[in-house]
Chain A
């Protein structure tokens, strides 16, 4: 029974965080500054997710070449910057990840 409350409660608060804003934000006339702020959301959030994954893969800051996440992340940033191709970034980033880890193990 407790489990049911847990699931329904989590379902409700999660939906409340997602749906109302999605449905309402376009319906009001909002100041231009809000829209300008929102244009920074993708870069701000995705960077805030990715950078700690690169620098602190196991919870502590690691700037060593043994940090596979950091090396392949930096490669991915370079590939993305120069090619602007999502596909190449994923392929070369993940190839670096697996190759570098393989090299470290041997």
Chain B
């Protein structure tokens, strides 16, 4: 079902992996630009200082959590509750970390700490695609690093641009570039769907996500992911005798 390269191309070296990782993240970098700019612009108007805004982007580095946090701060919610909410919003990262970490047994801490810090929806999507690809390159973490740095640098620049010039760039932010994230995720997800359990997983997760879209703090996403995983595994158990003969 899936078209595979039969390993004729040379496996890229460290630098090649790094550059490819950054390059393959480009559409997601574009998609994040309006978010970063809007974040910078909105954060400073909700009473956060410029340094505080830069601090959130550079030290926390979690788009949706940053947006929700400044929203809560504007409503006068206590710091402790904002931090607790951040924990809930970012629960999905644990799922990404579990999925990627299975491939990172050999990495030392000096790699795991920064790669962990830089884990986002976007870098997860790009990196997992590289990790599951059939070649056994020992440098796939360089690909992850390339993706992570592209996203991180872009997020910092956009935050600063937003702080400085946010409201002049209103039209730019409404251009629709953010939709690039969705088509990229579609392009990454669909080739994963090579059997019935994966298809059922996608249908279950998608349906649940729509039904739970009103659940706050991105918990709908977590619920949908868990239901999707469970649905896929149930179908897998069902058809396993057949699948074994494949």
Contact = CB atoms under 8 A, between A and B. Distances in A.
18 contacts: A7-B52, A9-B80, A10-B56, A10-B69, A17-B93, A36-B233, A37-B229, A44-B201, A44-B224, A44-B232, A45-B221, A46-B189, A50-B182, A52-B209, A61-B210, A76-B182, A85-B187, A98-B176
Interface of B is mostly: helix
Contacts of A23: 101, 104, 109, 112-113, 116
A43 B45 CA distance: 37
B55 A7 contact: yes
B104 A97 contact: no
Interface string A41-63: 11111111111111110010100
A68 B191 CA distance: 23
Nearest to A98: B176
Given A9-B79, A22-B112, A45-B92, A76 B183 contact: yes
A78 B190 CA distance: 9
Interface string B65-96: 10001000100000110111011001111111
Nearest to A24: B101
B98 A41 contact: yes
- Which of A13, A45, A53, A76 has the most chain B CB atoms inside 10 A of its CB? A45
Interface string B35-49: 000000000000011
Categorize the interface residue count of chain A: 35 or more
Nearest to A86: B187
Contacts of B113: 19, 23
A81 B101 CA distance: 28
A69 B202 contact: no
A7 B36 CA distance: 17
Contacts of B112: 19, 22-23
B12 interface: no
A39 B48 CA distance: 40
A77 B55 CA distance: 38
